[in-house]
Chain A
Amino acid sequence: MRERLDDRELERTLSEIGERLPYPSRDMWPEVRERIAKQRARRWWPLVIPRGMLAPIAATVAVLLVVAVALTPDLVARAAEILGLRGVQIFRVNETPTPARSPVATPTFAGQPALSLADASKTAGFQVEAPAELGEPDAIYVETAPVRVTLVYRTRTGIPVSPVAGVSAIVVEFRGRLDQAVIGKTTGPEARLESVPLNGGVAYWLSGQPHQFFYFDPNGNFQPETLRLAGNTLLWERGGITYRLEAQVSKEEAVRIASTLR
């Protein structure tokens, strides 16, 4: 007898199979908790780079640069062996994300637009400052979860407009100290990282074609961020706020712009 199942029979049979699939009868949480604890203790830095973020994948060897100045004691314990303390260590990773190139005339930045620096400060909960050198920003955006302010400079004499975002420069500000956070950056093979003096402190200069940026916020949470301009970037910290300037300018020029923050 050769019998065909009709649609209803097939569906019912599938449901019946579903009901009979094996499943664990014990509580899995203790084992999962143990795995989480183990993984936390182990090589936490490479593990936290989510796979999804590395796709689409360019088959190149990239350099992952990590800035670790001084960390909270808890983070220090975990980070010491990987990062080396107080300084910069370079990791080679096998994959790098392909930069998202979408040339648009008027880029959209995340967050709510703010009318003025004062407005932005009120929403952000900290004093938002802008480099006087660049003049008034053309647009200000404030994100609230987590708090982050983006100042947008559409065109500025002497600064080329980024083909990626269609603007000359942006300044991004968020609460977080470089000495409490780990800041890493995936870059192309050409990318370079160096520290430069700024206002008696130190700033970090990333040149080449960086396009993604990772950091840990003060709670130790991993925060990924895509660089909007995929160009040269200066990172520095002042009064508990981390600033980053993205603009296709020279290192000296970036430092000069940063020093006019007020």
Chain B
Amino acid sequence: MEGRLAEDALLVERAQHGDTEAYGELVRRYQALATRTAYVITGTSGDAEDAAQDGFTKAYFALARFRSGAPFRPWLLRIVANEAKNRRKAAGRRPTVDLSVAEDRPSGDTALSPEAAALASERRTFVLGALRRLREEDRLVIAYRYFMELSEAEMAEALGVARGTVKSRLSRALVRLREIAAGEVIGDA
């Protein structure tokens, strides 16, 4: 963790002094995180990649005012999330996004029995359905915590709120998620 921060700081400093390849390293390092963040907002991977690339471009031109010593990751995500929000606004807002995940990617499920794996998959579909109907800000705070696994401090920075606000925002978002989910049914009725 410390190592990553120090490496980021070094890459940012090099980029600030005109070393574009150092910035390239930062792009490679965070392209997955940036795209996923954008995806949570836009709901389509095409838009998400576009927003991530524009976010990286904007961040590059904003490097001059990046506070040295500050963590790069949440600062970048904030820019990317804004790009994604703008894109979604421009596209005309729909109440839900077409969020979906790859169900065929194994990740620890291999140890599960076929029944348990099927149930887990069903749960994901169920929660995903609720996530789709959640407000953008709520989805984002949940994504930062559970999808990107940001620390509280990073979440505060990425969301642009005080650190003390993060916890209450997250629990509020989870309550809303549950409320939406409560109306849904898992499995056969």
Binding site for B on A (CB under 8 A): 1-5, 9-11, 13-24, 27-29, 31-33, 35-36, 39, 47-48, 50, 145, 219, 221-224
A29 proximity list for chain B (CB < 8 A): 24, 27-28, 31
Q: Let me know if A3 and B187 touch, CB within 8 A.
A: yes
Q: Let me know if B102 and A20 touch, CB within 8 A.
A: yes
Q: How far is the CA of A47 from the CA of B61 in the complex (A)?
A: 9
Give the residue name and chain of the B residue nearest to A14 (CB): B146
B103 proximity list for chain A (CB < 8 A): 20
| B161 part of interface (Cβ distance < 8 Å) | no
Q: Let me know if B35 and A24 touch, CB within 8 A.
A: yes
Give the residue name and chain of the A residue nearest to B188 (CB): A1
Known: A1-B187, A35-B53. A28 touches B31 (CB 8 A): yes
B61 proximity list for chain A (CB < 8 A): 36, 39, 47-48, 222
Q: How far is the CA of A31 from the CA of B174 in the complex (A)?
A: 36
Q: How far is the CA of A50 from the CA of B75 in the complex (A)?
A: 14
Q: Let me know if B36 and A15 touch, CB within 8 A.
A: no
Q: Let me know if B127 and A10 touch, CB within 8 A.
A: yes
B127 proximity list for chain A (CB < 8 A): 5, 10, 13-14, 17
Shortest Cβ distance from residue B63 to the other chain A in the assembled complex, whole angstroms: 9
A145 proximity list for chain B (CB < 8 A): 68
A24 proximity list for chain B (CB < 8 A): 31-32, 35, 49, 52
| B1 part of interface (Cβ distance < 8 Å) | no
Known: A3-B187, A17-B101, A23-B35. A32 touches B56 (CB 8 A): yes
Contact of A1 among B49, B101, B189 (CB under 8 A): B189
Q: Let me know if B124 and A17 touch, CB within 8 A.
A: yes
Q: How far is the CA of A24 from the CA of B51 in the complex (A)?
A: 12
Give the residue name and chain of the B residue nearest to A39 (CB): B57
Q: How far is the CA of A18 from the CA of B145 in the complex (A)?
A: 10
Q: Let me know if A31 and B53 touch, CB within 8 A.
A: yes
Interface residues of B in 29-77 (CB under 8 A from A): 31-32, 35-36, 39-40, 45, 48-49, 52-54, 56-57, 60-62, 64-65, 68
Q: How far is the CA of A50 from the CA of B61 in the complex (A)?
A: 9
Interface residues of B in 114-133 (CB under 8 A from A): 120, 123-124, 126-128, 131
Q: Let me know if A22 and B53 touch, CB within 8 A.
A: no
Q: Let me know if B64 and A221 touch, CB within 8 A.
A: yes
Q: How far is the CA of A9 from the CA of B52 in the complex (A)?
A: 31
B153 proximity list for chain A (CB < 8 A): none
Q: How far is the CA of A21 from the CA of B34 in the complex (A)?
A: 12
| B9 part of interface (Cβ distance < 8 Å) | no
Q: Let me know if B107 and A16 touch, CB within 8 A.
A: yes
Q: Let me know if A18 and B18 touch, CB within 8 A.
A: no
Q: How far is the CA of A221 from the CA of B40 in the complex (A)?
A: 33
A48 proximity list for chain B (CB < 8 A): 61
Q: Which 5 A-B pairs have the closest CB atoms?
A: A18-B147, A20-B101, A14-B146, A23-B32, A29-B24
Q: Let me know if B146 and A15 touch, CB within 8 A.
A: yes
A13 proximity list for chain B (CB < 8 A): 120, 123-124, 126-127
Q: Let me know if A28 and B49 touch, CB within 8 A.
A: yes
Q: How far is the CA of A130 from the CA of B127 in the complex (A)?
A: 67
Q: How far is the CA of A5 from the CA of B31 in the complex (A)?
A: 32
Extra inter-chain contacts (13) besides given A10-B127, A16-B124, A24-B35, CB under 8 Å = A4-B182, A5-B123, A18-B143, A20-B103, A20-B105, A21-B147, A22-B101, A32-B24, A32-B27, A35-B53, A35-B54, A47-B61, A48-B61
A22 proximity list for chain B (CB < 8 A): 35-36, 39, 45, 48, 101-102
- What are 16 A-B contacts with C-beta separation under 8 Å? A9-B123, A10-B178, A13-B126, A16-B107, A17-B147, A19-B105, A20-B102, A22-B39, A23-B36, A27-B28, A32-B53, A33-B24, A39-B57, A50-B62, A145-B68, A221-B64
B174 proximity list for chain A (CB < 8 A): 10
Q: How far is the CA of A29 from the CA of B21 in the complex (A)?
A: 9
Shortest Cβ distance from residue A16 to the other chain B in the assembled complex, whole angstroms: 6
Give the residue name and chain of the A residue nearest to B24 (CB): A29
Q: How far is the CA of A5 from the CA of B130 in the complex (A)?
A: 12
